[in-house]
A = this chain, B = another copy of it.
Amino acid sequence: MASRIVSFEKIKVACKNCTLATLCLPMGLTPDDVERLDAIVKRSRPLQKGDHVFRNGDPFHNLYVVKTGTVKTYTESPDGGEQVVGFHLPGEIIGLDAIQTDQHGCSARVLETSAICELPFDNLEDLASHIHSLQHQLFRLLSKEISRDTEMLSLLSKSTAEERLATFLLDLSKRHQQRGFAANEFFLSMSRQEIGSYLGLALETVSRLFTRLQEDGILRVERKHIEILDRDHLAVLAIKPAGSRANTCQASD
């Protein structure tokens, strides 16, 4: 009983191997459990820019953890165009939407050379039914993804182009920071077009906004390199755009 809960440090070490920080950091796992979790993780070869992690329609076997690099997930329009539905940074898990159908409902492609780990879901499920805290952690993980999507949804249905881009940049910044990178300076691994697709804007609109934010002294933009100069100002734009265009209902009571 005394050593039932392993220290965070030990978990971190164990997880450094499996890149499962996301999964196992906040749990109380025994060393034994960690070992078993570690045993089911497969490290895949590094993927090159443009390679697919999985494609829409592929049978579902694994969840994937982004170890390094960036992954975009997207759906295809009937006319062959891509609709970006997410960008995924190191430590994030993708493929969660496929559990339901046993088929991947979108495609995932790496935006730069990336390392991706595989998590065979059947094994994970088995393990979860033995390790209660792992089960709980998985529920939380799925729930978190739902929260993220809901937030994004709320963003897209409410806001102006400016608010969308500001929110997008702050979100990216936060995620970089959580992963131990600089909060106010980072590289965009995606193109203006991909950002536009994700935010529901034309690529020209994205470009113009970058220019404007730079003119206003809020950002420094140099192609894909972004520096946030005035974070507070950016945060204001993210909440209330210049001319507040309100699609919200006034409370009815």
Contacts and interface: CB of A to CB of B under 8 A. Distances in A.
Contacts of A147: 97, 100-101, 105
Interface string A22-40: 0000000000000000000
Interface stretch (A2-10, A190-198, A222-230): A190-198
B153 A149 contact: yes
B82 A250 contact: yes
A33 to B, nearest CB: 14
Copies of this chain per assembly: 2
Given A136-B125, A139-B142, A157-B156, A150 B251 contact: no
Interface string A70-102: 000011111111111110000000001111110
Nearest to A158: B83
18 contacts: A50-B252, A80-B250, A81-B246, A81-B248, A83-B249, A85-B153, A85-B154, A97-B146, A99-B143, A106-B150, A128-B129, A129-B129, A139-B142, A146-B149, A149-B153, A152-B153, A156-B157, A194-B249
